[in-house]
């Protein structure tokens, strides 16, 4: 069948690192998938790794002393799985596919996985799924130009909101640290910020029954010159980073005079060809700086400190065209 896991793999020998320095390749899990691996996600407890593949399966790998073992392969999607995400509780997993569906899986203490819902709300490919930081609320981004939200109501998973506004494929979404805001990025070259209004809210936004309403409160337009593939919302600083098809990374920060119902964001940093400048990134834990210098070929050679490069890797999407 598809996705045969083959036990443990010896550590990669081609990139040795002196002890205590740099990063070393500890494992190559080469036997799990038959096609492109599109997404990987660590479980909240850190013991498991999920991998979503164009071969229509999702593998669950368990960390062992000397490598990883494939403990199960989740099958059912009709074609490419585009994304996989663990809920903060660690008991739920979501997958999504070009087959237009979002699947919710439950895992028990015996490491048994069961599909508890197949959600067919989207009318086209689902590109990405993301869990709310604290609640069991799921968001999905789709080729049908919408973002949808799902939660469990009376033992059934249902689509509880549809966010319309983007004019083309939504590639990714990200919640802020509170989960009260969602950022979405699109092939329409905009980033939109949505805010959750609960029933009985002060601002007078109408809600249907007990469900909150999500309203678009900010549209970042005119900054990106091509498709925006990914967005990441820093839970420490509130900064928004974007990954764009024009080869640039952009970081946005909310302006100090920003109003809650109509926030304004400004471009805090922009790493792209020809840019010469200094990017300062500070967080409560790290303080670091980055300098970009033009290289001979007039493309900036950006040197990152070790901590900064970890953050940069967190926002750059894995390239899926060889």
Partner 1 sequence: SCLIAGALSPAVDIIRTIRDPEKPNTLEELDVVTESCVEVQEIAEEEYLVVIRFTPTVPHCSLATLIGLCLRIKLQRCLPFRHKLEIYISEGTHSTEEDINKQINDKERVAAAMENPNLREIVEQCVTEPD
Query: Contact positions toward partner 1, by CB under 8 A?
Result: 35-36, 54, 79-80, 82, 98, 125, 127, 143, 168-169, 187, 225-226, 245-246, 273-274, 298, 320-321
> Nearer Cβ to partner 1, position 56 or 161?
56
Among all chains, which residue has been given the structure tokens 């010896």?
Answer: 10
Among all chains, which residue has been given the structure tokens 């443990």?
Answer: 8
Q: What minimum distance in Å lies between the beta carbon of 176 and partner 1?
A: 26
Q: What share of the chain is helix, strand, coil (3-state, %, to 5)?
A: 5, 45, 50
CA atoms within 13 A on the CB side of 293: 4
> Nearer Cβ to partner 1, position 96 or 193?
96
- What the block records as the tokens of 189 is 């070259």
Q: What minimum distance in Å lies between the beta carbon of 161 and partner 1?
A: 24
Element (H, E) at 59: strand 58-64
> Nearer Cβ to partner 1, position 18 or 274?
274
- What the block records as the tokens of 188 is 């329409």
Q: What minimum distance in Å lies between the beta carbon of 39 and partner 1?
A: 11
SS3 322: coil
Q: What minimum distance in Å lies between the beta carbon of 4 and partner 1?
A: 18
Q: What minimum distance in Å lies between the beta carbon of 94 and partner 1?
A: 18
- What the block records as the tokens of 210 is 């007990």
* Calpha distance 58→85 (Å, rounded): 11
* Calpha distance 59→85 (Å, rounded): 12
> Nearer Cβ to partner 1, position 127 or 192?
127
CA dist 39 → 60, 234, 258, 269, 303 (Å): 12, 20, 35, 27, 26
Give all strands of the β-sheet with 48-53 in edge-to-edge order. Answer: 37-42, 48-53, 58-64, 67-74
CA 4 to chain centre: 26
* Calpha distance 154→158 (Å, rounded): 10
> Nearer Cβ to partner 1, position 226 or 280?
226
Q: Is 244 exposed, middle or buried (0-12, 13-18, 19+ CB in 10 A)?
A: buried
> Nearer Cβ to partner 1, position 48 or 171?
171
Q: What minimum distance in Å lies between the beta carbon of 35 and partner 1?
A: 5
> Nearer Cβ to partner 1, position 228 or 311?
228
Contact 267, 241 (CB under 8 A): no
> Nearer Cβ to partner 1, position 80 or 254?
80
Q: What minimum distance in Å lies between the beta carbon of 256 and partner 1?
A: 33
Q: What minimum distance in Å lies between the beta carbon of 25 and partner 1?
A: 24
């Amino acid at each position: 069948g598809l996705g045969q896991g083959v036990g443990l793999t010896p550590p990669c020998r081609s990139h040795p690192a002196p002890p205590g320095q740099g990063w070393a390749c500890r494992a190559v899990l080469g036997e799990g998938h038959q096609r492109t691996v599109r997404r990987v996600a660590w479980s909240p407890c850190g013991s498991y790794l999920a991998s979503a593949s164009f071969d229509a399966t999702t593998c669950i790998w368990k960390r062992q002393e000397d490598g990883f073992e494939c403990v199960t392969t989740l099958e059912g999607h009709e074609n490419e799985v585009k994304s996989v995400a663990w809920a903060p509780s660690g008991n739920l997993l979501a997958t999504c596919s070009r087959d237009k569906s979002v699947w919710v899986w439950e895992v028990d203490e015996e490491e048994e996985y069961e599909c508890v819902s197949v959600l067919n709300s989207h009318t086209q490919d689902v590109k990405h799924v993301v869990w709310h930081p604290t609640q069991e609320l799921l968001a999905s981004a789709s080729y049908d130009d919408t973002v949808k939200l799902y939660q469990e109501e009376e033992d059934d998973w249902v689509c509880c909101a549809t966010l319309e506004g983007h004019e083309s494929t939504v590639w990714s979404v990200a919640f802020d640290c509170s989960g009260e805001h969602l950022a979405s990025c699109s092939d329409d070259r905009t980033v939109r910020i949505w805010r959750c209004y609960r029933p009985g809210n002060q601002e007078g936004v109408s809600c249907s029954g007990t469900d909150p309403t999500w309203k678009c409160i900010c549209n970042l337009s005119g900054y990106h010159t091509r498709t925006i593939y990914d967005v990441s919302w820093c839970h420490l600083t509130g900064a928004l980073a974007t990954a764009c098809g024009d080869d640039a990374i952009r970081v946005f920060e909310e302006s100090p005079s920003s109003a809650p119902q109509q926030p304004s964001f400004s471009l805090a940093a922009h790493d792209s060809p020809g840019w010469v400048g200094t990017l300062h990134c500070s967080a409560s834990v790290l303080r670091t700086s980055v300098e970009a210098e033009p290289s001979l070929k007039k493309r900036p050679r950006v040197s990152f400190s070790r901590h900064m490069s970890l953050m940069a890797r967190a926002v750059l999407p894995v390239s899926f065209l060889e």
